[in-house]
Structure 1
Amino acid sequence: MMMKKISALLLSVLSLLGVTSCAGSSSVQESAQPFDESKAVTLTVFDVGKADAMILETKNTVTVIDTGCKGDGKIIEKYLGDKGIEKIDTLIITHFDKDHVGGAARVVKKFPIGTVYVPDYKSDSDEYLSFIQNASNAGTAITQIPVTEQQEWNYDGAAFTLYAPQKTDYGQNEENDFSLCLFMQYDNIKYLFTGDAEEARQQEIMDLNLGTVDFLKFPYHGNYLKTTEDFLTACKPKATVVCCSEKENADDKTVETLKNRGIEAYYTTGGNVTVRTDGSTMVCSQG
């Protein structure tokens, strides 16, 4: 795994000189102080093709954000098993597309889970139905977040807010625009997770006025939309991860836009991405 730390001052100098970092080999640091391992919060974004599967670990808790496609539950199971983790505190399924809910049936079968959050709609897909059935069999309750509402909680000093969509009908693209949005603030560092939010949902997220963020899980697998420029202007991420595959990569316009804006962009085609923070420093690595 390649990793190096760049101070905020050095990053600014490099930016002024027109030097940009290569995805997969660089990191962002917000503080000149050494990284405090005792306060580490670690996000792992898995290389599962054009699908979302992530695990966020604080000192004492584990949160799974989406579970990829049907076979990807094994990847989550192995990762947690290798670390000796036997339970999941929170499972968030942003929406019920097969590339987000696909591995959930296995995850709820293999692990006791404290809380499961999902958006307030239903699906008739096999992946969704298997997830619901296995959760019921395991006695795992599922909490639907009603439209316009939000849930808040705190894990080891990290504050989480989960925002539901604002409508019950988005027309043709309703599946993606039903995506739950997760915002995390840990001291001075902010993360934003957007599921597959398309134009209508991206506008709703902008209307939340969350301000700038340090890390963005790029919405909708890197598709360039009419709202993309405004969305990036609103949240001004320093680093982003795009979940995509070699066959279904991010749009060229998205890649160009991220580069021109000086945003450190990581694409899961290059392997798993790890984002770590101690509340003042953020370090990204890939491989």
Structure 2
Amino acid sequence: MCRLVLLLAAAALLPAQTLRIYAIDVEGGKSTLYVSPSGESMLIDTGYAGNNNRDANRIVAAAASAGVKRIDYLVITHYHGDHAGGVPQLAAKMPIGKIFDHGDSFEQTNEKTQAVFTPFSAIRAKYPHQTVHPGDTIPITGLRVDVVAGAGEAIKAPLPGAGQANPLCASYEALKPDPGENAHSLAMIITLGSLRIADLGDLYWNQEHELVCPVNKLGTVDLYMTTHHGTATSGSPQIVHALHPRVAIMNNGADKGGSVKAWSTIEASPGLVDLWQLHFSNEGGKDHNVPEKFIANPSAENDGGFAIEVTAQSDGGFTVCNGRNRFEKAYRK
């Protein structure tokens, strides 16, 4: 566990407006735990099923290190196995308060996706549940969580303070349409005071475009949880550069995500100070990976399943820590 997170775990030392974030290593999938200043928890996605409960166990361990005994709000962005596969295993290990998602599957003829959605929907039926749409919020106390995309739709009006013209829209080139789950992923902007975070799930390139062109409906952010693990079908310059993040965290695997194209777009983003990665990207090689101290799991042969942890304050300042080597860096506005 990171030194700063250990200190902050003591309630007497915890600043009144501290948000804790755990980018959990689920080996190229997604599972991110947010612990609000109120103590309420929101988990976005659960990683994979199987693997001897690997991902559920890592989520439980991250929650325990945060002093979290239940997931108050479980948000499932879409129904691919690397995001929703671990729901049944997690539900067997931790209490869940309420489940949020985009509705039913958009890949009902895809056997692989239905093998994820069917057990998920059986679990969902046992809990309070809400289908959320663009413009809705996740009601976690102490944070504002705006749903900005879902089920193939995007917010119509800009978020407060956003709406500026995006000059990069003139050079945008669409990709072949994706009728599946990625194009229907939930996407969120999370706010604590002046701190803003983009967590857009696996939102597809063409759907991202609707959020930032012809005007940027999202505004700028401090922290960008990279979309779709850093694959080449998400994270266009139009959205990444419009978000103008100071820091990005890539939830890639050694051989999943971390594409040269997406990595280069993030690295070239105006205002970026640092990119952190959950894994060394084999595709990226020596030229398209960050320095090792910023990588939680640099070796596939000695993969420790380490997380990247963030402690953030309402004034916009935050600290990122590598769970492997305890290297941490503070970012102030």
TM normalised by structure 2 equals 0.68
Counterpart-to-counterpart distance in 2, 1:164 and 1:254: 20
Task: Between the two structures, name the one with larger relative contact order (CA 8 Å, sep ≥ 6).
Answer: 1
**Alignment RMSD:** 2.6
Aligned mate of 2:222, from 206, 214, 223: 214
Distance across 1 between alignment mates of 2:275 and 2:223 = 10
Relative to total residues, which structure has the larger helix share, 1 or 2?
Answer: 1
2:325 is equivalent to residue 284 of structure 1: no
Q: 1:171 to 1:153 in 2, by over 3 A?
A: same
Report 1:182-201 matches (<5 A): 182-201=188-207
Q: Is 1:258 aligned to residue 294 of structure 2?
A: no
Deviation of the 1:49 alpha carbon: 1.6
> 2:35–2:66: 8 Å Cα contact kept in structure 1?
no
Per the normalisation by structure 1, the TM-score is 0.78
Pick the aligned partner of 1:46 from 5, 24, 49: 24
| Equivalences, count | 252
Q: Deviations over 1:102-127 (max 9, x none)?
A: 11112233333222110122255222
Give the aligned residue type for 1:96: Y
1:163 aligns with 2:148: yes
Which structure 2 residues correspond to residues 55-204 of structure 1 after superposition, within 5 A?
Answer: 55-59=33-37, 60-70=39-49, 71=53, 72-81=55-64, 83-122=66-105, 123=108, 125-136=114-125, 139-146=126-133, 148-156=134-142, 158-165=143-150, 167=152, 172-204=178-210
Deviation string, structure 1 residues 21-68 (Cα, Å, up to 9, x no partner): xxxxxxxxxxxxxx9733210010012221101100013201101111
What SS does structure 2 have at the residue aligned with 1:155?
coil
Deviation at 1:74, TM superposition (A): 2.0
Q: Find the residue that maps to 1:128 and give its secondary structure.
A: helix
Query: Equivalents in 1 of 2:16, 2:320: separation in Å?
Result: 18
Determine helix, strand or coil for the equivalent of 2:45.
strand
Structure 1 residues 227 and 244: alpha-carbon distance in aligned structure 2, compared to 1, 3 A threshold: closer
CA offset digits 1:176-233 (Å, max 9, x no partner): 0111111111111001101111112211332561210001111111123486111112
C-alpha deviation, 1:163, in angstroms: 3.0
CA 249–165 in structure 1, closer or farther in 2 if over 3 Å, else same: closer
- The Cα offsets for residues 131-154 of structure 1, whole Å up to 9 and x where unpaired, read as 222333xx31221224x4523535
Q: 1:110 to 1:184 in 2, by over 3 A?
A: same
Question: Could you tell me whether the CA contact under 8 Å between 2:45 and 2:83 is conserved in 1?
Answer: yes
Match of 2:15 in 1: 37
Partner of 2:8: none
Kindly state the Cα deviation for residue 265 of structure 1 after the two structures are TM-superposed.
0.8
Which structure 1 segments of 5+ residues have no match? 5-34
What is the Cα deviation at residue 263 of structure 1?
Answer: 4.2
Contact kept? 1:119, 1:164, Cα under 8 Å: no
For the residue of structure 2 that corresponds to 1:246, the secondary structure is: coil
Q: Letter of the 1:131 partner, please give it.
A: F
**Distance (whole Å) between structure 1 residues aligned to residue 31 and residue 124 of structure 2:** 18
Between the aligned partners of 1:171 and 1:260, the Cα distance in structure 2 is 26
Per the alignment, in what secondary structure is the counterpart of residue 253 of structure 1?
Answer: helix
Which structure 2 residue ranges, 5 or more long, are not aligned?
A: 5-12, 154-175, 280-294, 297-306, 324-333
Tell me the SS of whatever aligns to 1:162.
Answer: strand
Q: Is the 8 A contact 2:150 2:184 kept in 1?
A: yes
Distance change in 2, residues 1:263/1:83 (3 Å): closer
